[in-house]
Structure 1
Amino acid sequence: MKNLFLIAYLDLKESIRANWFIVYSLVFGGMIALFFVAGVTQSQVMGFSGLSRLLLMYIQVTIVILPIFILISTVRSISGDRDTHILEYMLSFPISLKQYYWGKILGRFVTVFLPVFFAMIVATIYGVFIGASVPWNIFLLYTGLLFSLSSSFLGIAFFISSFVKTSEIALGVSFFIWIFLLAFIDIALISLMLQNRLDENLIITIALLNPMEIFRVAAISLFDPSLTVMGPVAFYILDNINQKLFVLLSILYPMILGLVFALLGFSIFSKKDLV
Protein backbone atom coordinates (compact mmCIF):
# COMPACT_ATOMS: atom_id res chain seq x y z
CA MET A 1 0.00 0.00 0.00
CA LYS A 2 2.90 2.34 0.74
CA ASN A 3 4.34 1.82 -2.73
CA LEU A 4 0.93 2.46 -4.30
CA PHE A 5 0.65 5.87 -2.63
CA LEU A 6 4.27 6.59 -3.53
CA ILE A 7 3.54 5.97 -7.22
CA ALA A 8 0.41 8.14 -6.93
CA TYR A 9 2.45 10.93 -5.33
CA LEU A 10 5.14 10.77 -8.02
CA ASP A 11 2.52 10.87 -10.78
CA LEU A 12 0.80 13.78 -9.05
CA LYS A 13 4.05 15.77 -8.86
CA GLU A 14 4.87 14.98 -12.49
CA SER A 15 1.41 16.06 -13.64
CA ILE A 16 1.48 19.34 -11.72
CA ARG A 17 4.82 20.25 -13.33
CA ALA A 18 3.48 19.47 -16.81
CA ASN A 19 2.21 22.20 -19.13
CA TRP A 20 -1.04 20.35 -19.78
CA PHE A 21 -2.03 20.67 -16.10
CA ILE A 22 -1.55 24.44 -16.18
CA VAL A 23 -3.66 24.72 -19.34
CA TYR A 24 -6.23 22.32 -17.90
CA SER A 25 -6.61 24.39 -14.72
CA LEU A 26 -6.73 27.69 -16.60
CA VAL A 27 -9.45 26.43 -18.94
CA PHE A 28 -11.88 25.57 -16.16
CA GLY A 29 -10.91 28.47 -13.93
CA GLY A 30 -11.13 30.80 -16.94
CA MET A 31 -14.64 29.58 -17.76
CA ILE A 32 -15.88 30.49 -14.29
CA ALA A 33 -14.16 33.90 -14.50
CA LEU A 34 -15.67 34.50 -17.94
CA PHE A 35 -19.15 33.67 -16.69
CA PHE A 36 -18.71 36.14 -13.83
CA VAL A 37 -17.48 38.88 -16.17
CA ALA A 38 -20.43 38.23 -18.51
CA GLY A 39 -22.81 38.75 -15.61
CA VAL A 40 -24.31 35.29 -15.72
CA THR A 41 -25.23 35.31 -12.04
CA GLN A 42 -27.15 38.58 -12.45
CA SER A 43 -29.23 37.41 -15.44
CA GLN A 44 -32.21 35.13 -15.79
CA VAL A 45 -33.03 32.83 -18.71
CA MET A 46 -35.88 30.29 -18.79
CA GLY A 47 -36.32 30.67 -15.03
CA PHE A 48 -32.66 29.91 -14.24
CA SER A 49 -30.82 32.67 -12.38
CA GLY A 50 -27.93 33.28 -10.02
CA LEU A 51 -25.60 30.39 -9.24
CA SER A 52 -28.10 27.90 -10.64
CA ARG A 53 -27.69 29.30 -14.14
CA LEU A 54 -23.90 29.59 -13.75
CA LEU A 55 -23.60 25.95 -12.67
CA LEU A 56 -25.85 24.87 -15.53
CA MET A 57 -23.69 26.67 -18.10
CA TYR A 58 -20.51 25.36 -16.48
CA ILE A 59 -21.72 21.77 -16.61
CA GLN A 60 -22.86 22.07 -20.23
CA VAL A 61 -19.40 23.29 -21.27
CA THR A 62 -17.64 20.76 -19.04
CA ILE A 63 -19.36 17.81 -20.67
CA VAL A 64 -17.52 18.55 -23.93
CA ILE A 65 -14.14 19.70 -22.59
CA LEU A 66 -13.58 17.40 -19.60
CA PRO A 67 -13.58 14.03 -21.43
CA ILE A 68 -11.07 15.08 -24.10
CA PHE A 69 -8.77 16.67 -21.54
CA ILE A 70 -8.81 13.49 -19.44
CA LEU A 71 -8.21 11.30 -22.48
CA ILE A 72 -5.31 13.24 -24.03
CA SER A 73 -3.59 13.85 -20.69
CA THR A 74 -4.00 10.30 -19.38
CA VAL A 75 -3.89 8.03 -22.41
CA ARG A 76 -0.11 8.41 -22.61
CA SER A 77 0.39 7.64 -18.93
CA ILE A 78 1.63 4.06 -19.36
CA SER A 79 2.52 4.16 -23.05
CA GLY A 80 4.59 7.29 -22.45
CA ASP A 81 6.50 5.62 -19.61
CA ARG A 82 7.09 2.67 -21.91
CA ASP A 83 8.39 4.92 -24.73
CA THR A 84 10.80 6.77 -22.45
CA HIS A 85 11.88 3.56 -20.62
CA ILE A 86 10.64 4.99 -17.32
CA LEU A 87 8.42 1.95 -16.89
CA GLU A 88 11.43 -0.38 -17.08
CA TYR A 89 13.27 1.79 -14.56
CA MET A 90 10.33 1.93 -12.12
CA LEU A 91 9.82 -1.84 -12.21
CA SER A 92 13.48 -2.37 -11.34
CA PHE A 93 12.47 -1.32 -7.81
CA PRO A 94 10.49 -3.61 -5.48
CA ILE A 95 7.17 -2.41 -6.92
CA SER A 96 4.51 -4.79 -8.18
CA LEU A 97 2.57 -4.28 -11.40
CA LYS A 98 -0.61 -3.81 -9.37
CA GLN A 99 0.94 -1.07 -7.24
CA TYR A 100 2.31 0.72 -10.30
CA TYR A 101 -0.93 0.56 -12.30
CA TRP A 102 -3.39 1.54 -9.57
CA GLY A 103 -0.99 4.09 -8.14
CA LYS A 104 -0.88 5.81 -11.54
CA ILE A 105 -4.68 5.80 -11.68
CA LEU A 106 -5.00 7.28 -8.18
CA GLY A 107 -2.48 10.04 -8.84
CA ARG A 108 -3.95 10.93 -12.20
CA PHE A 109 -7.50 11.03 -10.85
CA VAL A 110 -6.52 13.68 -8.33
CA THR A 111 -5.02 15.87 -11.04
CA VAL A 112 -8.00 15.62 -13.42
CA PHE A 113 -10.76 16.00 -10.83
CA LEU A 114 -9.45 18.69 -8.47
CA PRO A 115 -9.28 21.60 -10.99
CA VAL A 116 -12.89 20.96 -12.07
CA PHE A 117 -14.09 20.68 -8.48
CA PHE A 118 -12.07 23.69 -7.35
CA ALA A 119 -13.65 25.86 -10.06
CA MET A 120 -17.10 24.97 -8.69
CA ILE A 121 -15.95 25.85 -5.16
CA VAL A 122 -14.71 29.24 -6.38
CA ALA A 123 -18.09 29.88 -8.01
CA THR A 124 -19.88 28.95 -4.79
CA ILE A 125 -17.67 31.17 -2.64
CA TYR A 126 -18.25 34.07 -5.01
CA GLY A 127 -21.99 33.45 -4.89
CA VAL A 128 -21.97 33.56 -1.09
CA PHE A 129 -19.90 36.77 -1.23
CA ILE A 130 -22.40 38.61 -3.47
CA GLY A 131 -25.35 37.34 -1.46
CA ALA A 132 -26.75 34.91 -4.01
CA SER A 133 -28.61 31.81 -2.84
CA VAL A 134 -26.45 28.70 -3.14
CA PRO A 135 -28.24 25.58 -4.47
CA TRP A 136 -26.33 23.17 -2.23
CA ASN A 137 -28.28 20.13 -3.35
CA ILE A 138 -27.44 20.83 -6.99
CA PHE A 139 -23.83 21.57 -6.06
CA LEU A 140 -23.46 18.21 -4.31
CA LEU A 141 -25.17 16.30 -7.11
CA TYR A 142 -23.00 18.02 -9.74
CA THR A 143 -19.93 17.11 -7.72
CA GLY A 144 -21.06 13.49 -7.83
CA LEU A 145 -21.70 13.68 -11.58
CA LEU A 146 -18.28 15.23 -12.24
CA PHE A 147 -16.62 12.60 -10.03
CA SER A 148 -18.44 9.88 -11.93
CA LEU A 149 -17.66 11.27 -15.40
CA SER A 150 -13.98 11.71 -14.47
CA SER A 151 -13.83 8.11 -13.22
CA SER A 152 -15.41 6.83 -16.42
CA PHE A 153 -13.00 8.47 -18.86
CA LEU A 154 -10.01 7.85 -16.62
CA GLY A 155 -10.74 4.12 -16.79
CA ILE A 156 -11.18 4.31 -20.57
CA ALA A 157 -7.90 6.21 -20.93
CA PHE A 158 -5.92 3.66 -18.90
CA PHE A 159 -7.53 0.85 -20.84
CA ILE A 160 -6.27 2.42 -24.09
CA SER A 161 -2.86 3.13 -22.61
CA SER A 162 -2.47 -0.48 -21.50
CA PHE A 163 -2.48 -2.00 -25.00
CA VAL A 164 -1.28 0.70 -27.46
CA LYS A 165 2.38 0.56 -28.47
CA THR A 166 3.14 4.28 -28.91
CA SER A 167 1.87 7.59 -27.56
CA GLU A 168 0.87 8.75 -31.05
CA ILE A 169 -1.46 5.79 -31.53
CA ALA A 170 -2.86 6.34 -28.04
CA LEU A 171 -3.74 9.96 -28.89
CA GLY A 172 -5.36 8.92 -32.16
CA VAL A 173 -7.52 6.29 -30.48
CA SER A 174 -8.55 8.72 -27.73
CA PHE A 175 -9.63 11.38 -30.24
CA PHE A 176 -11.67 8.80 -32.16
CA ILE A 177 -13.46 7.64 -29.00
CA TRP A 178 -14.19 11.23 -27.95
CA ILE A 179 -15.64 12.17 -31.34
CA PHE A 180 -17.64 8.93 -31.50
CA LEU A 181 -19.19 9.49 -28.05
CA LEU A 182 -19.74 13.18 -28.76
CA ALA A 183 -21.74 12.30 -31.86
CA PHE A 184 -24.16 10.24 -29.79
CA ILE A 185 -25.14 13.16 -27.53
CA ASP A 186 -26.48 15.00 -30.57
CA ILE A 187 -30.25 14.76 -30.51
CA ALA A 188 -30.31 15.55 -34.24
CA LEU A 189 -28.41 12.30 -34.87
CA ILE A 190 -30.92 10.41 -32.76
CA SER A 191 -33.76 12.05 -34.69
CA LEU A 192 -32.14 10.96 -37.96
CA MET A 193 -31.97 7.39 -36.71
CA LEU A 194 -35.62 7.56 -35.67
CA GLN A 195 -36.55 8.63 -39.19
CA ASN A 196 -35.00 5.43 -40.50
CA ARG A 197 -37.74 3.46 -38.70
CA LEU A 198 -35.40 1.85 -36.18
CA ASP A 199 -36.83 0.87 -32.81
CA GLU A 200 -36.88 4.03 -30.68
CA ASN A 201 -36.40 2.13 -27.42
CA LEU A 202 -33.23 0.55 -28.76
CA ILE A 203 -31.90 3.87 -30.11
CA ILE A 204 -32.42 5.83 -26.90
CA THR A 205 -31.10 2.97 -24.76
CA ILE A 206 -27.90 2.90 -26.81
CA ALA A 207 -27.63 6.69 -26.49
CA LEU A 208 -27.97 6.49 -22.70
CA LEU A 209 -25.20 3.88 -22.53
CA ASN A 210 -22.92 6.74 -23.52
CA PRO A 211 -21.55 8.24 -20.25
CA MET A 212 -21.52 11.72 -21.81
CA GLU A 213 -25.19 11.50 -22.74
CA ILE A 214 -26.35 10.15 -19.39
CA PHE A 215 -24.32 12.89 -17.67
CA ARG A 216 -25.97 15.54 -19.87
CA VAL A 217 -29.51 14.30 -19.25
CA ALA A 218 -28.97 14.04 -15.49
CA ALA A 219 -27.44 17.53 -15.30
CA ILE A 220 -30.38 19.09 -17.15
CA SER A 221 -32.93 17.14 -15.12
CA LEU A 222 -31.71 18.80 -11.91
CA PHE A 223 -32.94 22.15 -13.24
CA ASP A 224 -35.72 20.98 -15.52
CA PRO A 225 -37.28 17.79 -14.07
CA SER A 226 -39.69 17.58 -17.01
CA LEU A 227 -36.78 17.76 -19.51
CA THR A 228 -38.81 19.99 -21.81
CA VAL A 229 -35.68 21.08 -23.72
CA MET A 230 -34.88 17.52 -24.81
CA GLY A 231 -37.94 16.64 -26.87
CA PRO A 232 -38.86 12.96 -27.43
CA VAL A 233 -35.90 11.69 -25.42
CA ALA A 234 -37.41 13.24 -22.29
CA PHE A 235 -40.75 11.50 -22.68
CA TYR A 236 -39.06 8.12 -23.00
CA ILE A 237 -36.97 8.71 -19.88
CA LEU A 238 -39.80 10.11 -17.75
CA ASP A 239 -42.15 7.29 -18.77
CA ASN A 240 -39.70 4.58 -17.77
CA ILE A 241 -37.72 5.80 -14.77
CA ASN A 242 -38.08 8.11 -11.78
CA GLN A 243 -36.01 11.32 -11.93
CA LYS A 244 -34.21 10.71 -8.62
CA LEU A 245 -33.45 7.12 -9.57
CA PHE A 246 -32.17 8.29 -12.94
CA VAL A 247 -29.75 10.77 -11.30
CA LEU A 248 -28.49 8.01 -8.99
CA LEU A 249 -28.02 5.73 -11.99
CA SER A 250 -26.18 8.56 -13.78
CA ILE A 251 -23.65 8.67 -10.96
CA LEU A 252 -23.21 4.93 -10.45
CA TYR A 253 -23.17 3.76 -14.06
CA PRO A 254 -20.15 5.82 -15.32
CA MET A 255 -18.20 4.91 -12.17
CA ILE A 256 -18.82 1.20 -12.73
CA LEU A 257 -18.01 1.61 -16.42
CA GLY A 258 -14.71 3.29 -15.59
CA LEU A 259 -13.84 0.58 -13.06
CA VAL A 260 -14.59 -2.17 -15.59
CA PHE A 261 -12.34 -0.54 -18.21
CA ALA A 262 -9.61 0.00 -15.60
CA LEU A 263 -9.76 -3.69 -14.62
CA LEU A 264 -9.63 -4.75 -18.26
CA GLY A 265 -6.66 -2.44 -18.75
CA PHE A 266 -4.85 -3.98 -15.79
CA SER A 267 -5.55 -7.47 -17.11
CA ILE A 268 -3.96 -6.56 -20.45
CA PHE A 269 -1.11 -4.64 -18.83
CA SER A 270 -0.17 -7.50 -16.52
CA LYS A 271 -0.12 -10.11 -19.33
CA LYS A 272 1.61 -8.37 -22.23
CA ASP A 273 5.27 -7.49 -22.73
CA LEU A 274 6.02 -4.47 -20.60
CA VAL A 275 9.04 -3.08 -22.42
Structure 2
Amino acid sequence: MKNLFLVAYLDIKESLRSKWFYVYALVFGGIMALFFISGISDSVVMGFTGLSRLLLVFIQVTIIILPIFILITTVKSIVGDRESNVLEYMLSFPISLGHYYWGKVIGRFATVFLPIIFALILGVVFGFSQGGNLPWAMVLLYSALLFSMCFIFLGIAFFVSSIVKSTDIAIGSSFAIWIILLAFIDIALIGLMLQGDANDGLIIGIALLNPIEVFRIGAISLFDPELTVIGPVAYYLLDTLGANALMVYSIIYPIIIGLLFSFLGYLAFKKKDLL
Protein backbone atom coordinates (compact mmCIF):
# COMPACT_ATOMS: atom_id res chain seq x y z
CA MET A 1 0.00 0.00 0.00
CA LYS A 2 2.91 2.34 0.66
CA ASN A 3 4.08 2.04 -2.96
CA LEU A 4 0.52 2.61 -4.18
CA PHE A 5 0.21 5.97 -2.44
CA LEU A 6 3.78 6.86 -3.34
CA VAL A 7 2.96 6.50 -7.04
CA ALA A 8 -0.24 8.52 -6.49
CA TYR A 9 1.78 11.24 -4.74
CA LEU A 10 4.32 11.34 -7.58
CA ASP A 11 1.53 11.60 -10.16
CA ILE A 12 -0.04 14.50 -8.25
CA LYS A 13 3.32 16.30 -8.10
CA GLU A 14 3.81 15.71 -11.82
CA SER A 15 0.35 17.14 -12.52
CA LEU A 16 1.10 20.20 -10.39
CA ARG A 17 4.17 20.85 -12.52
CA SER A 18 2.12 20.67 -15.72
CA LYS A 19 0.43 23.67 -17.26
CA TRP A 20 -2.76 21.73 -17.99
CA PHE A 21 -3.61 21.50 -14.29
CA TYR A 22 -3.54 25.27 -13.82
CA VAL A 23 -5.49 25.81 -17.02
CA TYR A 24 -8.03 23.26 -15.83
CA ALA A 25 -8.32 24.89 -12.38
CA LEU A 26 -8.42 28.37 -13.91
CA VAL A 27 -11.22 27.43 -16.31
CA PHE A 28 -13.61 26.22 -13.61
CA GLY A 29 -12.51 28.74 -11.00
CA GLY A 30 -12.64 31.53 -13.58
CA ILE A 31 -16.09 30.48 -14.76
CA MET A 32 -17.40 30.56 -11.20
CA ALA A 33 -15.78 33.97 -10.65
CA LEU A 34 -17.38 35.20 -13.88
CA PHE A 35 -20.76 34.09 -12.57
CA PHE A 36 -20.17 36.17 -9.44
CA ILE A 37 -19.11 39.27 -11.37
CA SER A 38 -22.01 39.04 -13.81
CA GLY A 39 -24.47 38.72 -10.94
CA ILE A 40 -25.98 35.58 -12.40
CA SER A 41 -26.99 34.38 -8.95
CA ASP A 42 -29.22 37.46 -8.64
CA SER A 43 -31.09 36.77 -11.89
CA VAL A 44 -34.24 34.72 -12.22
CA VAL A 45 -34.53 32.23 -15.08
CA MET A 46 -37.32 29.65 -15.30
CA GLY A 47 -38.08 30.26 -11.64
CA PHE A 48 -34.53 29.62 -10.38
CA THR A 49 -32.61 32.23 -8.46
CA GLY A 50 -29.75 32.52 -5.99
CA LEU A 51 -27.55 29.46 -5.50
CA SER A 52 -29.91 27.21 -7.46
CA ARG A 53 -29.53 29.44 -10.50
CA LEU A 54 -25.74 29.46 -10.08
CA LEU A 55 -25.58 25.66 -9.92
CA LEU A 56 -27.91 25.33 -12.90
CA VAL A 57 -25.59 27.36 -15.11
CA PHE A 58 -22.49 25.62 -13.72
CA ILE A 59 -24.01 22.27 -14.68
CA GLN A 60 -24.43 23.37 -18.29
CA VAL A 61 -20.74 24.29 -18.42
CA THR A 62 -19.45 21.09 -16.85
CA ILE A 63 -21.46 18.88 -19.20
CA ILE A 64 -19.41 20.11 -22.16
CA ILE A 65 -16.01 21.01 -20.69
CA LEU A 66 -15.40 18.39 -18.00
CA PRO A 67 -15.37 15.21 -20.16
CA ILE A 68 -12.92 16.51 -22.77
CA PHE A 69 -10.61 18.01 -20.13
CA ILE A 70 -10.44 14.70 -18.27
CA LEU A 71 -9.95 12.65 -21.43
CA ILE A 72 -7.20 14.80 -22.95
CA THR A 73 -5.22 15.28 -19.73
CA THR A 74 -5.52 11.68 -18.56
CA VAL A 75 -5.29 9.68 -21.75
CA LYS A 76 -1.54 10.31 -21.96
CA SER A 77 -0.79 8.89 -18.49
CA ILE A 78 0.32 5.34 -19.32
CA VAL A 79 1.31 5.72 -22.96
CA GLY A 80 3.14 8.96 -22.20
CA ASP A 81 5.23 7.28 -19.49
CA ARG A 82 5.98 4.45 -21.91
CA GLU A 83 7.15 6.78 -24.67
CA SER A 84 9.30 8.90 -22.35
CA ASN A 85 10.81 5.81 -20.67
CA VAL A 86 9.44 6.94 -17.31
CA LEU A 87 7.63 3.62 -17.05
CA GLU A 88 10.89 1.70 -17.50
CA TYR A 89 12.48 3.84 -14.79
CA MET A 90 9.57 3.37 -12.39
CA LEU A 91 9.54 -0.39 -12.84
CA SER A 92 13.23 -0.56 -12.01
CA PHE A 93 12.12 0.05 -8.42
CA PRO A 94 10.38 -2.64 -6.34
CA ILE A 95 6.92 -1.46 -7.49
CA SER A 96 4.36 -3.93 -8.80
CA LEU A 97 2.34 -3.27 -11.94
CA GLY A 98 -0.81 -3.03 -9.82
CA HIS A 99 0.68 -0.41 -7.53
CA TYR A 100 1.89 1.62 -10.49
CA TYR A 101 -1.39 1.49 -12.42
CA TRP A 102 -3.82 2.06 -9.56
CA GLY A 103 -1.52 4.65 -8.01
CA LYS A 104 -1.72 6.60 -11.27
CA VAL A 105 -5.50 6.26 -11.21
CA ILE A 106 -5.76 7.60 -7.64
CA GLY A 107 -3.34 10.46 -8.26
CA ARG A 108 -4.99 11.55 -11.49
CA PHE A 109 -8.47 11.34 -9.98
CA ALA A 110 -7.38 13.71 -7.21
CA THR A 111 -6.07 16.25 -9.71
CA VAL A 112 -9.21 16.24 -11.89
CA PHE A 113 -11.81 16.10 -9.13
CA LEU A 114 -10.45 18.50 -6.52
CA PRO A 115 -10.38 21.68 -8.70
CA ILE A 116 -13.97 21.29 -9.82
CA ILE A 117 -15.26 20.44 -6.35
CA PHE A 118 -13.32 23.45 -5.02
CA ALA A 119 -15.05 25.66 -7.60
CA LEU A 120 -18.40 24.23 -6.49
CA ILE A 121 -17.60 24.94 -2.82
CA LEU A 122 -16.54 28.45 -3.78
CA GLY A 123 -19.89 29.02 -5.42
CA VAL A 124 -21.77 27.62 -2.43
CA VAL A 125 -19.85 29.81 0.03
CA PHE A 126 -20.44 32.90 -2.11
CA GLY A 127 -24.14 32.18 -2.51
CA PHE A 128 -24.52 31.57 1.22
CA SER A 129 -22.60 34.76 2.06
CA GLN A 130 -25.07 36.74 -0.05
CA GLY A 131 -27.88 35.61 2.21
CA GLY A 132 -29.23 32.90 -0.07
CA ASN A 133 -30.69 29.63 1.10
CA LEU A 134 -28.31 26.68 1.08
CA PRO A 135 -29.93 23.60 -0.55
CA TRP A 136 -27.71 20.98 1.09
CA ALA A 137 -29.40 18.03 -0.63
CA MET A 138 -28.92 19.60 -4.04
CA VAL A 139 -25.26 20.43 -3.38
CA LEU A 140 -24.46 16.94 -2.08
CA LEU A 141 -26.23 15.19 -4.94
CA TYR A 142 -24.53 17.41 -7.49
CA SER A 143 -21.16 16.66 -5.85
CA ALA A 144 -21.94 12.96 -6.19
CA LEU A 145 -22.82 13.46 -9.86
CA LEU A 146 -19.52 15.26 -10.43
CA PHE A 147 -17.69 12.44 -8.67
CA SER A 148 -19.28 9.80 -10.90
CA MET A 149 -18.72 11.92 -14.02
CA CYS A 150 -15.02 12.29 -13.25
CA PHE A 151 -14.71 8.61 -12.42
CA ILE A 152 -16.19 7.22 -15.63
CA PHE A 153 -14.14 9.41 -17.96
CA LEU A 154 -11.04 8.74 -15.91
CA GLY A 155 -11.65 5.00 -16.36
CA ILE A 156 -12.21 5.40 -20.11
CA ALA A 157 -9.04 7.49 -20.42
CA PHE A 158 -6.89 4.94 -18.60
CA PHE A 159 -8.33 2.14 -20.72
CA VAL A 160 -7.46 4.01 -23.92
CA SER A 161 -4.03 4.94 -22.56
CA SER A 162 -3.32 1.27 -21.82
CA ILE A 163 -4.17 -0.08 -25.27
CA VAL A 164 -2.84 2.57 -27.69
CA LYS A 165 0.75 2.78 -28.89
CA SER A 166 1.35 6.54 -29.01
CA THR A 167 0.15 9.76 -27.44
CA ASP A 168 -1.05 11.04 -30.81
CA ILE A 169 -3.41 8.09 -31.16
CA ALA A 170 -4.46 8.52 -27.53
CA ILE A 171 -5.40 12.16 -28.00
CA GLY A 172 -7.18 11.44 -31.29
CA SER A 173 -9.13 8.63 -29.65
CA SER A 174 -10.17 10.88 -26.77
CA PHE A 175 -11.53 13.47 -29.20
CA ALA A 176 -13.41 10.77 -31.11
CA ILE A 177 -14.98 9.42 -27.91
CA TRP A 178 -16.00 12.90 -26.79
CA ILE A 179 -17.55 13.80 -30.14
CA ILE A 180 -19.48 10.53 -30.36
CA LEU A 181 -20.90 10.93 -26.85
CA LEU A 182 -21.65 14.60 -27.41
CA ALA A 183 -23.55 13.77 -30.59
CA PHE A 184 -26.08 11.83 -28.51
CA ILE A 185 -26.30 14.26 -25.60
CA ASP A 186 -29.77 15.65 -26.24
CA ILE A 187 -32.40 13.10 -25.29
CA ALA A 188 -35.06 15.58 -26.43
CA LEU A 189 -34.07 14.74 -30.02
CA ILE A 190 -35.09 11.15 -29.38
CA GLY A 191 -38.67 12.40 -29.36
CA LEU A 192 -38.39 12.59 -33.14
CA MET A 193 -37.18 9.01 -33.29
CA LEU A 194 -40.09 7.80 -31.22
CA GLN A 195 -42.34 8.47 -34.19
CA GLY A 196 -40.57 5.71 -36.12
CA ASP A 197 -40.86 1.93 -35.94
CA ALA A 198 -38.15 1.40 -33.32
CA ASN A 199 -39.11 0.32 -29.83
CA ASP A 200 -39.42 3.32 -27.53
CA GLY A 201 -37.82 1.61 -24.55
CA LEU A 202 -34.89 0.41 -26.64
CA ILE A 203 -34.15 3.89 -27.96
CA ILE A 204 -34.28 5.51 -24.53
CA GLY A 205 -32.27 2.65 -23.03
CA ILE A 206 -29.49 3.16 -25.58
CA ALA A 207 -29.54 6.91 -24.91
CA LEU A 208 -29.13 6.32 -21.17
CA LEU A 209 -25.95 4.34 -21.79
CA ASN A 210 -24.32 7.65 -22.68
CA PRO A 211 -22.61 8.90 -19.47
CA ILE A 212 -22.95 12.54 -20.54
CA GLU A 213 -26.69 12.07 -21.03
CA VAL A 214 -26.97 10.28 -17.69
CA PHE A 215 -25.21 13.18 -15.95
CA ARG A 216 -27.45 15.68 -17.72
CA ILE A 217 -30.68 13.92 -16.78
CA GLY A 218 -29.52 13.47 -13.18
CA ALA A 219 -28.54 17.14 -12.94
CA ILE A 220 -31.82 18.31 -14.46
CA SER A 221 -33.81 16.23 -11.98
CA LEU A 222 -32.19 18.18 -9.12
CA PHE A 223 -33.91 21.36 -10.30
CA ASP A 224 -36.86 19.94 -12.20
CA PRO A 225 -38.09 16.65 -10.64
CA GLU A 226 -40.78 16.39 -13.34
CA LEU A 227 -38.15 16.66 -16.12
CA THR A 228 -40.46 18.93 -18.09
CA VAL A 229 -37.59 20.34 -20.19
CA ILE A 230 -36.99 17.03 -21.99
CA GLY A 231 -40.58 16.66 -23.15
CA PRO A 232 -42.66 13.47 -23.35
CA VAL A 233 -39.63 11.24 -22.71
CA ALA A 234 -39.87 12.37 -19.08
CA TYR A 235 -43.12 10.45 -18.60
CA TYR A 236 -41.49 7.21 -19.73
CA LEU A 237 -38.44 7.70 -17.49
CA LEU A 238 -40.43 8.62 -14.39
CA ASP A 239 -43.03 5.88 -14.91
CA THR A 240 -40.35 3.24 -15.54
CA LEU A 241 -37.68 4.18 -13.00
CA GLY A 242 -39.14 6.85 -10.75
CA ALA A 243 -37.37 10.01 -9.60
CA ASN A 244 -35.34 8.38 -6.80
CA ALA A 245 -34.22 5.38 -8.87
CA LEU A 246 -33.27 7.71 -11.73
CA MET A 247 -31.01 9.72 -9.42
CA VAL A 248 -29.42 6.55 -8.00
CA TYR A 249 -28.83 5.29 -11.54
CA SER A 250 -27.27 8.63 -12.54
CA ILE A 251 -24.69 8.26 -9.75
CA ILE A 252 -24.06 4.52 -9.58
CA TYR A 253 -24.02 3.65 -13.30
CA PRO A 254 -21.05 5.90 -14.23
CA ILE A 255 -19.06 4.65 -11.23
CA ILE A 256 -19.61 1.01 -12.22
CA ILE A 257 -18.68 1.65 -15.85
CA GLY A 258 -15.65 3.65 -14.73
CA LEU A 259 -14.49 0.77 -12.55
CA LEU A 260 -15.06 -1.65 -15.42
CA PHE A 261 -12.99 0.39 -17.88
CA SER A 262 -10.28 0.92 -15.27
CA PHE A 263 -10.05 -2.82 -14.64
CA LEU A 264 -10.04 -3.62 -18.37
CA GLY A 265 -7.28 -1.06 -18.77
CA TYR A 266 -5.31 -2.75 -16.01
CA LEU A 267 -5.68 -6.16 -17.69
CA ALA A 268 -4.51 -4.67 -21.00
CA PHE A 269 -1.63 -2.93 -19.22
CA LYS A 270 -0.43 -6.20 -17.68
CA LYS A 271 -0.60 -8.16 -20.92
CA LYS A 272 0.81 -5.47 -23.21
CA ASP A 273 4.50 -5.06 -23.96
CA LEU A 274 5.33 -2.57 -21.23
CA LEU A 275 8.44 -1.15 -22.84
Q: Normalising TM by the smaller chain, what interval?
A: over 0.9
- Cα distance, 1:35 vs structure 2: 1.1
Equivalent pairs: percent with the same residue? 64
Mapped to 1, the partners of 2:196 and 2:208 lie a distance apart of 19
- Cα distance, 1:186 vs structure 2: 2.1
Tell me the residue number matched to 1:172: 172
Q: Pairwise mapping of residues 151-190 of structure 1 onto structure 2 (< 5 A)? A: 151-187=151-187, 189-190=189-190
Mapped to 2, the partners of 1:72 and 1:228 lie a distance apart of 34
Q: Pairwise mapping of residues 159-238 of structure 1 onto structure 2 (< 5 A)? A: 159-187=159-187, 189-238=189-238
Contact 1:184 1:190 in 2 (8 A): no
* Local SS of the residue matching 2:194: helix
Mapped to 2, the partners of 1:6 and 1:198 lie a distance apart of 52
- The alignment's TM-score, normalised by the length of structure 2, stands at 0.98
* Local SS of the residue matching 2:165: coil
- Cα distance, 1:241 vs structure 2: 1.2
Tell me the residue number matched to 1:124: 124
- Cα distance, 1:126 vs structure 2: 0.8
Tell me the residue number matched to 1:271: 271
- Cα distance, 1:148 vs structure 2: 0.5
- The alignment's TM-score, normalised by the length of structure 1, stands at 0.98
Q: How many residues align?
A: 275
- Cα distance, 1:192 vs structure 2: 4.4
| Structure 1 gap segments, 5+ residues each | none
Tell me the residue number matched to 1:25: 25
* Cα RMSD after superposing both structures: 1.0
Q: Please, which moves more after superposition, 34-43 or 182-191?
A: 182-191
Mapped to 1, the partners of 2:191 and 2:183 lie a distance apart of 12
Q: Pairwise mapping of residues 32-71 of structure 1 onto structure 2 (< 5 A)? A: 32-71=32-71
Give CA deviations for 1:159-205 in whole Å, capped at 9, x if unaligned: 00001000000000110001101111123642443344322211110
Q: Pairwise mapping of residues 91-130 of structure 1 onto structure 2 (< 5 A)? A: 91-130=91-130
Mapped to 2, the partners of 1:92 and 1:151 lie a distance apart of 29
Partner amino acid, structure 2, of 1:30: G
Mapped to 2, the partners of 1:137 and 1:62 lie a distance apart of 19
Contact 2:77 2:158 in 1 (8 A): yes
